[in-house]
Amino acid sequence: MIPLAACEEIIDVSGVAARIEAMLPAGARPRQLKVRTLLAGMCLAAADHRPAHLTRVHQALTALGEDDQRRLGVTADWKNGPHQLTYRQTERTFGLVADALGKDEPDGLPSGPLQAACDDLLEASIAEEFKDGGSRSLAVDWTDLESFSRPPPRGTSDCADPEASWGHRKNNLLRSQDELFYGWYLSAGIMMPEENGPAVPELARRATVSSCRHDPVRAFAPVLTAMPGQQIPLGDILDDSGYAHRDAAAWAIPLRAAGAQLVQDLHPHDRAPRAPAKARSSPTDVCTARGRPAPCWNWGRWPAPPPKSRPRTTTARPPSYPGTSSAASPLMTPTATTGCSALPSSARSAARCGPPR
């Protein structure tokens, strides 16, 4: 459990609360719940491993001590006496913040102000000794984040989370097929120790959320390339084959232009390319395939191998029987391929297979 004082320090150092508060409309009566208190309640709910529900945020704020509730405005003096914050007031302030940080036409990607607020909060949560004297290397990956809502199986596709979408994720089952889920992709950049460098805590330095209808690699690349403009130089970027298999213009080229050094695993299909053509998934955008060997002096002079022999097939037709009685029909001699030829149904009762005894 993270103490309330630590959450408030992160919010104050980031400067996000005051910036968002200036974006909200001013009403005739001041709001009891401020943005700073709302963010503190969200941090308390997440630090206590509670579900990210707005009701949990309200419960976290109303469960504070009396002095903290007075200081944060959770309990305020009204005309009829002390008034504790209601869920309706929490929902009202959260709706104003979501409208201010959202897009006019939602597309499943965070807006610029929302991404900047998340970056500032994460950067403020890292101690100064790890920022300056720590590592500049980041380990990057994405994971699935299932939504709290999903569309009904039949009929309309509307739901409470319209920006989410269907995506694929790996499962722990024996089958190799991916599993469908409805939600988002969460991408994060975690601090990692540099080679021969001091140990650093694995803290999240950048993160973003994108709908499953967007490529998480292309959604996270602008977040990392914006770090040098924020006076945060990039070092080694460690990623797996899911990033190396992307188009070079989507990941490798912009990150190298921002000063990053890529340390990534190649995709299994790219480890032994068969053709010297330039692959779209090449992280260096340069063909690394091994060329076709030059023909030697006896190229094509060896005799062609003999054709494979086919097994002999028997085309012997079964003997035909005259239309007379079965006693006058000739006897059959067994061959190597047939021990007994089938007789017509009318002669089976009188004829025998093989020579007479």
The answer to whether residue 63 sits within a structural domain is yes
Where residue 24 falls among pLDDT bands split at 50, 70, 90? very high
The last residue of a domain, from among 228, 252, 270: 270
pLDDT of residue 315: 55
**What is the number of structural domains in the chain?**
2
Tell me what the pLDDT averaged over the chain comes to. 80
| Among the ranges given (49-58, 59-68, 188-197, 281-290), the one the predictor scored with the smallest mean pLDDT | 281-290
The answer to whether residue 147 sits within a structural domain is yes
The last residue of a domain, from among 270, 304, 329: 270
| In the predicted structure, residue 90 carries a pLDDT above the cut 60 | yes
**In this structure, are 97 and 227 located in the same domain?**
no
The answer to whether residue 333 sits within a structural domain is no
**In this structure, are 166 and 239 located in the same domain?**
yes
The answer to whether residue 13 sits within a structural domain is yes
The answer to whether residue 299 sits within a structural domain is no
CB 212 within 8 A of CB 164: yes
Structure tokens at 156: 């309309």
pLDDT digits (tens, 9 = 90+) for 162-195: 899 989 887 766 666 778 899 999 999 999 988 8
**In this structure, are 190 and 262 located in the same domain?**
yes
pLDDT of residue 118: 95
CB 35 within 8 A of CB 24: yes
Burial class (CB in 10 A: 0-12, 13-18, 19+), 189: buried
Task: Please tell me what DSSP assigns to residue 18.
Answer: H
Nearest in space to 61 (alpha carbons), one of 78, 73, 77: 73
The last residue of a domain, from among 270, 286, 307: 270
The answer to whether residue 229 sits within a structural domain is yes
pLDDT of residue 307: 66
**In this structure, are 147 and 246 located in the same domain?**
yes
CB 174 within 8 A of CB 117: no
Q: Average pLDDT, stretch 150-163?
A: 81
CB 179 within 8 A of CB 193: no
**In this structure, are 133 and 261 located in the same domain?**
yes
**In this structure, are 166 and 73 located in the same domain?**
no
| The model's pTM | 0.70
pLDDT digits (tens, 9 = 90+) for 299-338: 444 455 666 666 665 555 555 554 444 444 444 444 444 4
**In this structure, are 82 and 213 located in the same domain?**
no
**In this structure, are 141 and 89 located in the same domain?**
no
**In this structure, are 86 and 40 located in the same domain?**
yes
**In this structure, are 58 and 135 located in the same domain?**
no
Question: Residues of the chain with pLDDT > 90: what percent?
Answer: 50
Q: Cβ–Cβ contacts within 10 Å for residue 38, how many?
A: 24
**In this structure, are 28 and 135 located in the same domain?**
no
Residue 52's domain spans which residues? 4-101
The answer to whether residue 166 sits within a structural domain is yes
Rounded to whole angstroms, what are the CA distances from 328 to 334, 340, 343, 344? Answer: 19, 19, 14, 15
How many residues are given for the chain? 357
The answer to whether residue 177 sits within a structural domain is yes
Where residue 223 falls among pLDDT bands split at 50, 70, 90? very high
